């Protein structure tokens, strides 16, 4: 097994420094606050616009920020928020819909298609991108957009995207100012990064320890609806893209109505699964019991069952904290798998073939 404390080996396995991008998420968030603060959403563009619904359209690393926002605002927003991951928009989209198109590269074909459809439907549109065709469309169509720094893997721009989306909704008057929550979140991220960065040895580094436990196993990540559901998806996707590992995710209480029965067969394969329970202090009392009972039921079936608790006071900070932890674990697991965490060769191959 790879020695995760060997800095020279990590440098060779990580030539694009994905680990450095993870370690610097707090600083990225600080920069994102400045970018969002400078974004000018012309009041004339909104002209008294009150949305009946909000659509955040994007794919992959450009969609997870929407998932975060939907979860975070589910008990605050009076307006329903839907995440769209497709070429087309729902039929109900019209002039009363607020569409936020997100494409980090600016060239995601599904998002570009959805943008054009939003225009045809007369929806109010704002975009978030680092450039590409989407930025070009916005300039020619007079659509406001948040321009974030480019050159990163989309999944590594989470801070820019999440705070950018939050800033758009603030400037649109849809949500209240989140300055206090974001300040706390950045403080929490700095604490986590200090604990999990590369120079913290294995015996004191919880992210490295979890990566070792997951080595050669299949992660199954369970979150809680409207608390850590988006986090569970993020962990799953980071294991896929960074670690080059298969992974599964689901949420309580839904999984107790179906998936829990699947922990029967094939028995030998199930011994290779490690269950990660993403816990939060805001869990419904019955969901808390479901976590505890499910952990007991899976004892002796899965290889192991581990809990990861969110940190912080505000839900904004708590969600971000678990995402940051998962990002660290996924990169350390990539090193154990002797993989460069940055390339996503199959995705690039798919794009090439689709363009033929």
Active-site residue numbers?
Answer: 241, 257, 351
Task: Find out whether 26 and 186 touch, Cβ atoms under 8 Å.
Answer: yes
Task: Find out whether 309 and 210 touch, Cβ atoms under 8 Å.
Answer: no
Helix axes 64-73, 158-171, angle to 10 degrees: 50
Query: Which residue, chain included where needed, has tokens 């699947």?
Result: 262
Task: Say if strands 304-309 and 273-279 run parallel, antiparallel, or are unpaired.
Answer: parallel
Task: Find out whether 8 and 137 touch, Cβ atoms under 8 Å.
Answer: no
Q: Hey, what are 136's tokens?
A: 């070009």
Strand residue runs (E) in 25-161: 53-57, 81-84, 97-103, 124-129, 145-147
**DSSP conformational letter for 202:** G
Strand order in the sheet with 124-129: 81-84, 53-57, 97-103, 124-129, 145-147
Q: Hey, what are 235's tokens?
A: 């962990």
Count CA atoms within 13 Å of residue 39 on its CB side. Answer: 28
Strand residue runs (E) in the chain: 53-57, 81-84, 97-103, 124-129, 145-147, 218-224, 248-252, 273-279, 304-309
Q: 205 vs 43, 150, 315, 329, CA distance in Å?
A: 48, 31, 25, 10
**DSSP conformational letter for 261:** G
Task: Find out whether 334 and 247 touch, Cβ atoms under 8 Å.
Answer: no
Q: Hey, what are 236's tokens?
A: 């799953």
Contacts with 178 (C-beta within 8 Å, 6 or more apart), sequence order: 166, 170, 316
């Amino acid at each position: 097994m790879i020695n995760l404390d060997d800095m020279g080996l990590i440098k060779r396995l990580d030539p694009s420094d994905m680990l450095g991008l993870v370690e610097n998420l707090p600083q990225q968030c600080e920069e994102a606050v400045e970018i969002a603060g400078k974004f000018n959403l012309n009041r004339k563009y909104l002209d008294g616009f009150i949305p009946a619904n909000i659509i955040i359209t994007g794919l992959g690393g450009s969609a997870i920020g929407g998932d975060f926002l939907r979860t975070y605002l589910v008990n605050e927003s009076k307006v329903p928020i839907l995440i769209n991951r497709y070429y087309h928009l729902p039929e109900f989209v019209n002039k009363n819909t607020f569409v936020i198109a997100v494409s980090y590269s600016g060239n995601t074909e599904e998002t570009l298609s959805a943008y054009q459809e939003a225009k045809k439907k007369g929806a109010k549109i704002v975009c978030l991108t680092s450039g590409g065709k989407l930025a070009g469309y916005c300039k020619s169509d007079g659509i406001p957009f948040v321009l974030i720094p480019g050159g990163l893997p989309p999944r590594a721009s989470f801070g820019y995207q999440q705070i950018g989306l939050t800033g758009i909704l603030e400037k649109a008057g849809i949500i209240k100012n989140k300055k206090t929550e974001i300040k706390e979140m950045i403080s929490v991220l700095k604490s986590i990064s200090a604990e999990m960065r590369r120079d913290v040895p294995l015996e004191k580094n919880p992210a490295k320890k979890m990566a070792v436990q997951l080595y050669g196993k299949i992660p199954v990540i369970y979150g809680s609806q409207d608390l850590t559901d988006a986090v569970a998806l993020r962990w799953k996707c980071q294991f896929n893209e960074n670690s080059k590992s298969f992974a599964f995710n689901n949420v309580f209480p839904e999984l107790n109505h179906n998936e829990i029965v699947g922990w029967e067969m094939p028995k030998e394969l199930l011994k290779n699964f490690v269950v990660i329970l993403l816990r939060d202090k805001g869990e419904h009392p019955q969901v808390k019991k479901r976590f505890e009972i499910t952990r007991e039921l899976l004892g002796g079936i899965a290889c192991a069952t581990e809990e990861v608790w969110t940190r912080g006071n505000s839900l904004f900070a708590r969600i971000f904290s678990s995402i940051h932890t998962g990002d660290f674990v996924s990169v350390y697991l990539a090193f154990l798998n002797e993989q460069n965490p940055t390339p996503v060769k199959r995705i690039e191959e798919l794009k090439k073939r689709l363009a033929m």
